[in-house]
A and B are shown apart, each in its own frame.
Chain A
Amino acid sequence: MKIEGTYTFKAPQEKVWETFNTVEHLQKALPGCEKLEETEPGKYDVYLKIGISAVKGKYKGKFEIADPQPPNSYKLVGQGKGLPGYVKGEALISLSQDGENTVLAYDGDVQVGGLLAGIGQRMIGGISKMMLEQFFKSMDDILK
């Protein structure tokens, strides 16, 4: 499932880049993040507890900030597994300055498997978007 969109931060590009590469900020902003550990530079182990309505689950996963081109773009590659199934995703994150603001564009792909694929396909796009919005909003709060 393709997901794409933009979010505008009221902050200069350098600052946005820095914030997005700081582990503590990521941990705070990621919805349902219980633990985030950098295992190697740019590689993280993550424990999330997320869900929609009654469908909640704990996910153990890894993600990587790959191919960084500071302060313009990087590729985010991640996967997580939990009882409801697994999630795999890859997105290109690009930043660009727009006056005093920074526009973040994401363009990627989310795959789900297991129970989620069987009963939640229709909603994956909408829910991924919602979680991303939540994440960006929290990052925005941190930036302020």
Chain B
Amino acid sequence: MSGEKKKWVGTSYKRKEDMRLLTGRGTFMDDILLPNMKHAAILRSPYAHAKILDVDISEALKAPGVIGVVTGEDVKQESKPYPCGVTIPTKYYTCAVDKVRFVGEPVAVVVAENRYLAEDALDLIEVDYDPLDAVVNIEKAIEPDAPVLHENIGSNVYNHRFFKYGTDWDTLCQEADEVVKWKFNFPKYAGSPIETYGVIATYNAYDKSYVVYNNYQGPFVNHALTAMALGVPENKMRWIIPTDIGGGFGTKTGIYPYCALMAIVAKKTGVTVKWIEDRREHLMASATCTDRVTYIEAAVSKEGKILGLKDKAMDTSGGYIRPPEPGCAYRSTGNHTGAYDIRNLDREVYIVATNKGLTAPLRGYGCQELYFSTERITDMAAAKLGMDPAEIRFKNFIQPEQMPYTTATGGYYDVGNYPAAFKKCLDLVEYEKMREYQKKAREEGRLVGIGLASVTDPSVTNIAYVAIGKTAEERKNERDKSGSGEAAIVKVDPLGGITVICSTNPQGQGHETVISQIVADEFGVHPDQVVVDSVVDSSDRLYSITTGSFSSRFASSGTTAIVRASRQCLEKAKKIAAHLLKIDLEDVVVEDGKFFGKDNPEKAIKLRHIAGAAHWNQYDLPEGMDAGLFGTSLWTMPTSRPPDAQDRVNSSNTYGFVAEAIVVEVDKETGEVKFLKWASVHDAGTILNPQIVRGQVLGSIVQAIGGSMYEEQAYDENGQCLTASFADYLCPTAMEMPKVDVDHFESPSVLTALGSKGAGEGSSMSVPPAIGNAIADALAPLGAVVDELPMTPSKIWHLINDATAQTN
């Protein structure tokens, strides 16, 4: 059967996208020009927290070139608040109505002939604010005297839940030989795609429908929710996403409120409106990951076995909570205990309101926050026991014989060999040799550290994870939620050409190339002969609430849908071939794009002939068969079940493994960190295109270096954003990228058609803890503790000096 001998999948087929991208011929949002298109600019709040007493747009309306101005009052009339997976009565409108709750929140929109004139008119809008005290610290937000952001909620708690799995904590502590505890702070940082948000909206007043071009990356649940917010049937709101998106990283999951906003603006002003977000807007008011405060305890035996974990994690989704939050706390439910065989977990989760920018999934989504605390406490436990951090990990890994393994929290790990993959990483970094090197360096007074991290890499989220925000009791009253579907249509045209249309919308990951490789293998054609249409149009392709390009789902879920659609199409082709060759279906062989009987290979017909028969001579098709030649699939992984009554949920569907080993030297005088050696080993299942995967690994590494050492969406105590330009929001450049030795450990998934798991997020989750562990190890002789990120030279210097002062 075709598809088993892989000629193209697994090779580094050169990316088809690159020529057009590198020569400036991609089609991005700003390349789309519609007739009579006008331009929008958004007036944004300079206050973190204030009442809006009045918005006077009279002068702005008179400004040159202005077509119209829309305010929060208009938005309130034209839309309903977004529904969200929490029980509190959230009221998130895409434009501030009575209050502003974070700096940068939209307050009004001007539409003018061009962006320059629109911004000139913004200057003329007079907003009368009554400033209120702001709160930016997560723990302060739930103190009794904290300023309350949402009066109708009455407190700053968006969500608060408890979870208990296995033996209760107090009993466990009595069994344990040591209990190690610490508090960790994880920062708020962004994806910083090169291309910002872009939206073009039009409204048809006759059939009351919208067309909104935008650079969304999914999940398409937000298409449905936006239709609900706008009060239109979902099929009257068409979203069109262009061929090229300049990076997503999760940040472009947060564009949907701007789609609603511009849709309303188009309706109110009666024109086609284009809005291209500028960088300052993006850094303040697009989306970041949540920052998190974690109190974590690990109960361990003296042999180094982690008996259980207890953690209280406190997130903030900013001034509002909006879908897919509360996912930040719950996406990682299934893999909470990571790669370790830990059966007992006591969890408390808070998601609170603060006067900061809003959140959305960011590459890693919840796992970098989680693993920073679990991997750091693992190292602390090792130190307490006088054990090498590699040794404690080997003592706790889930063993290959335990696969498939169901975690205490409901995660289903189908395959993997964590000890072997981790050993591969240690060998790659020459671990023993590096420990010797560290010993010598310490004798010379140098601060050399080795940081390890070993984590499971969840991909293809099961939308059920959002439901965990509610208790089992609360869930009883609603429809269960579950699923991870991705769609593909593979069609063969009358001349035999193959076109593939998917529900995933790439932002530069090279999907077009990989899809071509897969379909080429299935049909026995050359990848160049496969055409992939990356434009996602909600009207003409299959999608569901789970579809899109996020949570690394293309490689496993998306590709399986493509394989299934291809094979469905091939089955039909074989039936037609059998009919034309007058042989039995079981005797049809497909090889190198040719169809023949197994006993008569010389009498072969090509796909072209079969397509010809299917299209050009429809009467002669087998009885009862539809004309044409195509296959479709909207495939959901069978492991995507709803949560059970004990709050166990398989929050993702494929689980890879990532190991990092980083050797650093910290300059005692300046606090600067130098990377001396770095090994990164990934188990992403079957590798579909090694060059593309390598790009993903290096990309996630450098992005994680950003969050660990350079990037932060920072606020002062009054909620003013301190990093609203690239002068202060520091993305690592090529000069900050160290040399990394990357290797792979392939244990193919048994759940996906090609055995691939996700590769897109990997190191985003493992690098922040590994860097934290490395710097902590470097500073260990001084007694300094690393419990937060980003680790800047100034912060490291203070740690060194405070520790030195204490010992003196």
Contact = CB atoms under 8 A, between A and B. Distances in A.
A118 B714 CA distance: 10
Given A111-B718, A113-B46, A113-B103, A118 B123 contact: no
B167 interface: no
Interface in B98-124: 103, 123
Contacts of A118: 280, 284, 720-725, 728
Given A83-B123, A86-B46, A118-B280, A113 B718 contact: yes
A111 B49 CA distance: 14
Interface in A94-144: 111-115, 117-119, 121
B46 A85 contact: yes
B727 interface: yes
B620 to A, nearest CB: 70
B47 interface: yes
B716 interface: yes
B324 to A, nearest CB: 28
Contacts of B724: 117-119
A119 B727 contact: yes
Interface string B711-755: 000001010111111011000000000000000000000000000
B46 A114 contact: yes
A112 B48 CA distance: 12
A14 to B, nearest CB: 37
Contacts, number: 37
B727 A117 contact: no
A12 to B, nearest CB: 39
Contacts of A117: 103, 716, 720-722, 724
A113 B47 contact: yes
B705 to A, nearest CB: 24
Given A85-B46, A86-B46, A113 B727 contact: no
A83 B121 CA distance: 12
Contacts of A114: 46
Interface string B120-164: 000100000001000000000000000000000000000000000
A65 to B, nearest CB: 21
B118 to A, nearest CB: 15
A119 B725 contact: yes
Nearest to B718: A111
Contacts of A85: 46
A119 B47 CA distance: 15
Contacts of A86: 46-47
Contacts of B716: 117, 121
Contacts of B725: 118-119
Contacts of B123: 83
B60 to A, nearest CB: 13
Nearest to A117: B720
Contacts of B723: 118
Interface in A25-72: none
B676 to A, nearest CB: 32
Contacts of B47: 86, 113
B146 to A, nearest CB: 19
Contacts of B103: 113, 117
A121 B46 contact: no
A117 B717 CA distance: 12
A118 B284 CA distance: 10
Nearest to B717: A111
A78 to B, nearest CB: 14
Interface of B: 46-48, 103, 123, 131, 280, 284, 716, 718, 720-725, 727-728
Given A111-B718, A113-B103, A121-B716, 15 more contacts: A111-B720, A113-B47, A113-B48, A113-B718, A113-B720, A115-B46, A117-B103, A117-B720, A117-B721, A117-B722, A118-B280, A118-B720, A118-B722, A118-B725, A119-B724
9 contacts: A113-B48, A117-B720, A117-B722, A118-B280, A118-B721, A118-B722, A118-B728, A119-B728, A121-B716
Give 4 nearest A-B pairs by CB, closest first.
A114-B46, A118-B724, A117-B720, A113-B46
